[in-house]
Copies of this chain bind each other. A is one copy, B any other.
C-alpha cells in the first residue's frame, strides 16, 4: 500500500489543496479563491472540509502520511501562531495551527509558504540536484527560503528567510514591514503593478495606459504581456525588477555562497524580461558570483514547479515528519 500526504498552499489570493503520493505525483488538486473577506474562520473551515474530503477519497488507496500547510507571513513555529501576514489581513496573532488541528482532530505541519515552495523545488524541481539552495518567491509579496544541509533554515524564532525585506534602496519605497526600499517593493507582482501605474501617471506609457483601461483586472501579468510584445515602458519596469533582484541575489551569494538560487512565484513567469538585467547586476555586485558562475558553481535559475511548488513542498514536509 502506497502512502500519500495532503499539501495545502494557503495564499492571499488562492487556496490550493492536493493529495500527493510518495513520488510527488499530484493525485488530485483543488483550487479555489481564498475568500479573505469572509474572515479567517470561513477560510479555515473551507480548507479543512476539503482536506477531509481528499483524505477520505484516497484513504482506500494508501496510508495518509500527514498534512502539511503552507501559509504566507511570519509564523512562530513554536506556537503555530501567524505573527504577521500582510496578505491575510486580520490574521495577525491568529493560532492557525491550533485552529486547523481542532477542526481536523489531528496534527498538521505548518510552514511558511515560501519555505514550502523551496522544499518542493528542492524535492522535484530546479534544485533537485543540490543539497543547499535559496529560493526567492515573487508573488503578491516577495518571500524567501534557504535550504542548508538539506533542511529549511528557520532561524531562532522560525522567522528566517524574509528575503523580500533585503534592503535594495536606503531611502526607497515605503514597505508594509515599516522599512523602506525592501526587495518586495521592486520585485513583487504588487510592485510591478505599482510601477506600471506610476509609468501611466507620468504620461510616458500610452500602451500601458490603454491596456489598463481595457482590462479591469490589470495586473503584473498584463504588464508582462506588454513587455513581451516590446512595449518599452513595460520592458523598463522588468529591468527595474531585474536590478533589484540582482542586488538581492548578489547579497545572498556574498553571504551564503550556495550552489543554487531559484526564483519562483508568479512574477518568475516574466523571467526573460528581468533575468538578463538580474544576472548582469548580480555579476556587478558579487565577486563570488563572477568567479563561481563561470564554472557553473553558482546557478541562478527559475523555478520549475510553478504554482504547485508550495503544495508539493507542504506534502513533502508532512511525509518527512
Interface residues of A (CB under 8 A from B): 74, 83-84, 132, 144, 146, 148-149, 153-163, 165-170, 177-180, 243, 247, 250-252, 254-259, 284-288, 290-292, 297-298
Q: Check A155–B257 contact: CB distance below 8 A.
A: yes
Q: How far apart sit A12 and B196, CA to CA, in the bound complex (Å)?
A: 49
A251 and B167 within 8 A (CB): yes
Contact B166 A255 (CB under 8 A): yes
Given A179-B285, A180-B285, A287-B179, verify A254-B157 contact (CB < 8 Å): no
Given A179-B285, A287-B177, A288-B159, A153 and B251 contact (CB-CB distance below 8 Å): no
Known interface pairs A156-B132, A157-B292; A170-B168 also in contact (CB < 8 Å):
yes
CB pair B153–A256 under 8 Å, yes or no, is yes
Inter-subunit contact A161/B255 (CB<8 Å) = yes
Listed by A's residue number, 26 A-B pairs whose Cβ atoms lie within 8 Å are: A74-B287, A83-B291, A84-B287, A144-B255, A146-B255, A153-B256, A154-B257, A155-B256, A155-B257, A156-B292, A156-B297, A156-B298, A157-B297, A159-B288, A160-B257, A161-B255, A161-B257, A162-B287, A163-B254, A163-B255, A166-B254, A168-B170, A170-B243, A179-B287, A180-B285, A252-B255
A132 to chain B, nearest CB (A): 7
Query: How many copies of the shown chain assemble into the complex?
Result: 2
B residues near A159, Cβ cutoff 8 Å: 257, 288, 292
The closest CB in chain B to the CB of A290 belongs to B178
Contact B288 A162 (CB under 8 A): yes
Nearest CB of B to A286, in Å: 7
B167 contacts A258, CB within 8 Å?
no
Beta-carbon contact of B256 and A165 below 8 Å: no
**Is B167 within 8 A of A259, CB to CB?**
no
Known A-B contacts A179-B285, A284-B179; A170 and B254 likewise in contact (beta carbons under 8 Å): no
- Complex interface: chain B residues within 8 A of A74 (CB): 287-288
A166 contact set on B, CB distance < 8 A: 251, 254-255
Also in contact, A156 and B284, with CB within 8 A (given A148-B148, A251-B167): no
Contact B179 A286 (CB under 8 A): yes
CA distance in complex: A161, B252 (Å): 10
Residues in B whose Cβ lies below 8 Å from that of A154: 257
Expressed in whole angstroms, the minimum distance between the Cβ of A228 and any Cβ of chain B is: 27
* Distance between A265 CB and nearest chain B CB, rounded to angstroms: 18
Task: Known contacts A83-B291, A287-B84; decide if A255 and B160 are in contact (CB<8 Å).
Answer: yes
Do the beta carbons of B167 and A247 come within 8 Å of each other?
A: yes
Contact residues in B for A286 (Cβ distance below 8 Å)? 165, 177, 179
